[in-house]
């Protein structure tokens, strides 16, 4: 969650609300480890979830902001791997 907030430039409260909605639709799930929450995309369980995930990814994939955010996330992941 912290990394997402940093990359997206969003407050934790705002991001939590969006992630909660995505959890309710079955798009993402989370696991808790202490005070940290880790979010991941769910494998679609039905046609509606598959169509929703497809609409989200297709709709975002060409946006410049999305590409920049993905690049930032990849950079964070590499930095984290280098620290380990």
pLDDT of the chain along its 84 residues, tens only?
788 888 888 899 999 999 999 999 888 999 999 988 888 988 888 998 889 888 888 888 888 998 999 899 899 888 888 887
Q: What is the pLDDT of residue 47?
A: 92
pTM of this structure: 0.69
Domain boundaries, the chain: 2-79
Long-range contacts of 2-11 (CB under 8 A, 24+ apart): 2/36, 3/73, 3/76, 4/39, 6/76, 7/69, 7/72, 7/73, 7/76, 8/69
Domain range 2-79, CATH architecture: Orthogonal Bundle (1.10)
Q: What is the DSSP letter of 6?
A: H
Q: What is the pLDDT of residue 17?
A: 94
Q: What is the pLDDT of residue 30?
A: 92
């Amino acid at each position: 969650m912290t990394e997402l907030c940093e990359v997206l430039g969003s407050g934790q409260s705002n991001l939590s609300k969006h992630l909660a909605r995505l959890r309710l639709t079955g798009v993402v799930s989370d696991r808790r480890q202490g005070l940290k929450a880790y979010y991941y995309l769910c494998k679609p369980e039905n046609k509606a979830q598959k169509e929703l995930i497809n609409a989200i990814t297709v709709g975002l994939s060409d946006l410049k902001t999305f590409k920049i955010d993905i690049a930032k996330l990849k950079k964070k992941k590499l930095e984290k791997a280098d620290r380990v």
